[in-house]
Structure 1
Amino acid sequence: MDSLIENGATKEEKLKAMGMAENPSAFKERFYTQLLKLYEKRGGGILQALYDTIPVAMFLMLPLFAILIKIFYWNTGTFAHHMVFSFYFFTFIFTALCALILVNFVVDIPLGIEVFIWFSFVFYLLIALHNFYKSSWFGAFFKASAISFLYTILVVPIAFFGIALISFMLY
């Protein structure tokens, strides 16, 4: 590939050398084109595309969080009720992460404090569930733990894969 790039080969020649078929689908052609772009630029720009995709992904993950809350609070409110709660909760997370990033630019925050901030999201969820849904502390603790666990195990990996794929395909 390096010799093709040095000799000024056309894009089609490079894609063929990478193993792209004669008549690829639009998705395969885009995928191979992005791979070539990634190789030629040595990954430059993909990190920015990843950062640009995260807020959109957080917004798209809101309904999934609301579905988990609906499962645990089946008889309490409509889906719109749970979406409003999700908006409030995600606003807290987004604001805290923005503050964390801004402070980290000025002062290097120790890892222990960063871990504490990440655990504060679950603690905030516990308090929010107790206040918003008027559940007991034990019930709110159980549900906050279960929702956080399920969200982390099911939704976050799928979202990470989606963010990585979209960032790669659009950068």
Structure 2
Amino acid sequence: MKKSQETCKNCENDFEQGYNFCPHCGQKSNDELTVSVLFYNTISNYFSVDARFFKSFIPLMFKPGYLAKRFVEGKRLLYLHPAQMYLFISVVFFFLFSFISRDQVKTVNNALKKGEIPVVIHDSLKTQVIDSLKNVTTADYVLKDDFSFNQRTVDSLIAIDAPEEDIYTAMGMDSDAGFFKRRLYTQILKFYEQRNGGSILQVFYDSIPIAMFFLLPIFAFILKLLYYRKASFSYHLVFSLYFFAFIFMAFSFLVLVDLIWKPQSRLNTLVLILIFIYFYLAVLKFYNQGKLKSLFKSIVAAFSFILMVIPAAVVVMFMVAFFFY
């Protein structure tokens, strides 16, 4: 007698009833969508926080290079995947860091508000403002290379809801300004109107994950140049993912300490030194070269990171703030 068939909701292939999972794609055959299923799938699939994380955490923190070495040797299921480890720890770090960044944003805003110049323009003065501005020549605009300008003129235009083009002109922008220059004046005006430097600072903080997206493969490429005969680029990327996960874990510790007790700057310096020592030991373990050669390449990689990669990340953060603030 032919057994009853059922159709998988995911891959739409038929299979015999009685299977708990689809033999074609692996989805659960009776996977009714409930709130608990929704959030369980989100956490388990996106973060994959399971026993492998706790099994991987101690080696990550106290056995430099061990996880990366084991992963490239083929131990792919015993420990947490490097991308999952990096993702989960980075999310934890940015969650903790949000408490500090929020306070810093408030501090910046309060500092700017103390220097705010109040301007009150009554309806009866609007005509006088417009007439006076008509007689202002280009020489009267005082926008210089440091982007200073006649604040009272600009404040008056803002108070009467003048067109933005008129305000840009009062700030010194040429009528034939290109896209980037016009965008720059737009951002300056937005900052000036809001007196809200904290929002710009928040944009920079929010752009850090995007900058890290570019920074991490660049760091792996530096390792590839230093060890171009050792392995393919993917091997260096595995090493970088685990190493950056360790960095985020160390910075998470600093954030926790800062939230509980304001430490001296010596603690930050100590953590940076420990990160370099960790990096050297990880390089020594993963690439299996001599101590002096590993130390030399670790120093070269560290200086390359500081002198090239970090400035590149800052440029990315600036571009994100420039276009999306």
TM-score > 0.5, shorter chain as reference:
yes
Higher mean C-alpha deviation, range 2-11 or range 40-49: 2-11
Higher mean C-alpha deviation, range 30-39 or range 13-22: 13-22
Per-residue Cα deviation, 1:23-53 (whole angstroms, up to 9, x for no partner): 5444433322111111122223011111111
Whole-angstrom distance in 1 between the partners of 2:244 and 2:236: 12
Bigger Rg over Cα:
2
Aligned with residue 173 of structure 2, among 20, 23, 39:
20
Higher mean C-alpha deviation, range 77-86 or range 15-24: 15-24
Whole-angstrom distance in 2 between the partners of 1:111 and 1:135: 34
Letter in 2 for 1:32: Y
Letter in 1 for 2:193: E
Offset of 1:91 from its aligned partner?
A: 1.1
Aligned with residue 10 of structure 1, among 145, 163, 179:
163
Match of 1:113 in 2: 267
Match of 2:210 in 1: 56
Letter in 2 for 1:98: S
Letter in 2 for 1:36: L
Aligned with residue 73 of structure 1, among 202, 208, 227:
227
Identity %: 39
Structure 1 unaligned segments of length 5 or more: list them.
Answer: none
| Secondary structure in structure 1 of the residue aligned to 2:167 | helix
Within 5 A, what are the aligned runs for 1:71-150? Answer: 71-150=225-304
Per-residue Cα deviation, 1:100-145 (whole angstroms, up to 9, x for no partner): 1232122112110111111222111101101111122212211111
Per-residue Cα deviation, 1:72-97 (whole angstroms, up to 9, x for no partner): 11111001111111111111112222
Offset of 1:7 from its aligned partner?
A: 3.1
Letter in 2 for 1:151: F
Match of 2:314 in 1: 160
Whole-angstrom distance in 1 between the partners of 2:256 and 2:170: 44
- Number of residues of Structure 1 aligned to a counterpart in Structure 2: 171
- The TM-score, its normalising length taken from structure 2, stands at 0.49
Q: State the Cα RMSD in Å.
A: 1.7
Q: Does 1:37 align with 2:190?
A: yes
Higher mean C-alpha deviation, range 45-54 or range 87-96: 87-96
- In 1, are the aligned partners of 2:214 and 2:313 still within 8 Å (CA)? no
Higher mean C-alpha deviation, range 2-11 or range 43-52: 2-11
Whole-angstrom distance in 2 between the partners of 1:60 and 1:120: 24
Where in structure 1 do 4 or more consecutive aligned residues deviate above 6 Å?
Answer: none
Letter in 2 for 1:10: P
Highest RCO, 1 vs 2 (Cα 8 Å, sep ≥ 6): 1
Whole-angstrom distance in 1 between the partners of 2:256 and 2:184: 34
- The TM-score, its normalising length taken from structure 1, stands at 0.90
Letter in 1 for 2:242: Y
